[in-house]
């Protein structure tokens, strides 16, 4: 078993390594390896985020349908779009910063709002049955 300090940083290390592989290499095979590492890092980040989340998830009744997995994956989709745009000619390189900046903002906001006091919300672990009950009560 990995130490906690290493285990918590693995998703970010996967993502940074994948971004480095995609940005600094010219081989399509390394781009594919970077893309696979990016997907693995994003998936492990989403799983760790879901495990650490202590706030109660209450879905609004009047919201357009968006699966939870798509909502959780949006920052990584924006980051991947920015990486793809960065490989276009120089005029598009500045445009590539916009999705990357938005992805970083989304990840920062989520990490900021999903951490609560341990004693306050430790009983509010994410429970799909609880979410369904709350949704049905509305």
**Which CA distances in Å does 35 have to 9, 17, 22, 28?**
19, 10, 7, 10
Domains of the chain by residue range: 2-53+68-115
> HSE (CB half, 13 Å, CA atoms) of 4?
0
pLDDT 10s digits, 67-105? 778 888 999 999 999 988 888 877 777 888 899 999 999
pLDDT 10s digits, 26-58? 899 999 999 999 999 999 988 888 777 766 666
Comparison of pLDDT for 66 and 55, the residue scoring more: 66
Whether 109 has a pLDDT exceeding 60, the answer reads yes
Tokens 């793809």 belong to: 84
């Amino acid at each position: 078993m990995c130490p906690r300090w290493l285990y918590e940083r693995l998703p970010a290390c996967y993502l940074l390594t994948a971004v480095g592989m995609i940005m600094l290499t010219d081989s399509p095979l390394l781009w594919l390896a970077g893309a696979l590492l990016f997907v693995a890092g994003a998936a492990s980040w989403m799983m760790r985020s879901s495990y650490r989340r202590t706030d109660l998830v209450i879905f609004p009744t009047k919201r357009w349908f968006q699966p939870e997995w798509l909502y959780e994956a949006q920052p990584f989709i924006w980051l991947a779009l920015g990486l793809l745009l960065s490989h276009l000619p120089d005029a598009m390189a500045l445009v590539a910063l916009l999705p990357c900046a938005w992805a970083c903002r989304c990840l920062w906001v989520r990490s900021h709002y999903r951490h609560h006091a341990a004693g306050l919300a430790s009983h509010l672990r994410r429970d799909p049955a609880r979410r369904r009950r709350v949704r049905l009560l509305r």
